[in-house]
Amino acid sequence: MTAMAPVGEPAELKKFTGPQRAAALLLVLGKEHGAPIWEGLSVEEVKELSAAMAQLGCIPAPVVEHLLVQFSSEVSSMASLHGSFETTERLLAGILPEEKVKEVMEDIRGPSGRTMWDKLSNVSEGVLASYLKNEYPQTVAVILTKLKPDHAARVLAELPRDFGTDVVARMLRIDNVQKNVIEQVEQTLKTEFMSNLARTQRRDPHETMAELFNAMDRQTEEAMLSALEERAPESAERIRSLMFTFEDLTKLLPSAIAAVVKQADKKVVALALKAAPEEARKVFFAGMTERAAGLLRDDMANMGPVRARDCEEAQSQLVRLAKQMADRGEIVLVDPKSDDAVIL
């Protein structure tokens, strides 16, 4: 009998950087188990990991399993995780003080870069010029001397002509700017410009639309998604990947399904399963005691005819409950859209 070769590193792992791998692990650990790690990190490390987590997107199962090879069998059977700005902020809110969370999120929602000048170099010239034209020419001159020449030139071109000429004249006279002046300018940029810029950064519109579609009735949702697929197939696919439906709920780990059923109103569960396929019902019943499953079957049988719309609303209520529980760290939602999804 030939011995099995050890499982190698999954090919997908190469796409994830060191910080992204660390962020994935912390996302799995959640608040309870991850808190001691977060508390031991510096502000810069928290920002770096938070930025990586917010940009993770979908993590395939082989990568999750490789990173957590010593983890329990339940965790290793997850399909994948999904990291976003919202999940990152909710996780940090349960671990760090409010002000620290605000600082981290403003930083990662804003332009990338380790220093203020790196960040400004990643702000479009139009946006930066729109802010700078209301500042003192001397302050603008100091700021532009700290930027990369090509970016500073583009910003100057966007400024009003007379104002820009004044700024250039002042840049020519600038010698060595005192350190405390630079620090004051940096602080002003951070509090007045970067914080406002971060607040105006829009979340991924596909995430917003996924939430909107999740709130629709099944018929309207499918009709609109089908129409969108004809016009913008990539956007439709992205929205579908971000949606979490009742069908996806049945693909959670048995322990997660059991936790949802335990917290849900039993009438809602019965109504949701009334219109569910037999396979979905079996998944729910498997997470219940024999007696509880029997009582639920009786409730469903005694309901008689029910409106399809009522069943869909009950299923939506269970989905919303699962999301709320995931936000509180009580269960972990896998990404059921992965090809590696496992139905237990």
- Which amino acid type is present at position 127? V
Between 85-93 and 43-54, two packed helices, what is the crossing angle to 10 degrees?
A: 140
3-state helix, strand and coil shares in percent for the chain, rounded to the nearest 5: 70, 0, 30
Topology of domain 205-243, per CATH? 1.20.5
Beta strands in the chain (DSSP E): 57-59, 81-83
pLDDT on residue 344: 29
Residue 94: which residues within 8 A CB-CB, separation 6 or more?
31, 35, 329
Task: Give the model's pLDDT for residue 82.
Answer: 54
Which amino acid is present at 4?
M
Please tell me the pTM assigned to this model: 0.38
Domain 116-200: state its class.
mainly alpha
Domains 205-243 and 244-344 share a fold: no
Q: What is the mean pLDDT of residues 116-136?
A: 77
Architecture of domain 244-344 in this structure: Orthogonal Bundle (1.10)
| DSSP per-residue letters across 73-91 | HHHHT---EEE-HHHHHHH
**Domain segments of the chain as ranges:** 11-109, 116-200, 205-243, 244-344
Nearest to residue 244, comparing CAs of 118, 100, 112, 81?
81
| pLDDT tens column, 213-256 | 776 766 777 788 888 888 888 888 878 777 777 888 887 777 78
Q: Please tell me the predicted confidence (pLDDT) of residue 279.
A: 87
- Give pLDDT, residue 58: 77
pLDDT, one tens digit per residue, over 139-195 is: 888 888 888 888 888 888 888 889 889 999 888 888 777 777 777 877 777 666 665
CA dist 276 and 318 (Å) reads 13
pLDDT band at 115 (very low <50, low <70, confident <90, very high): low
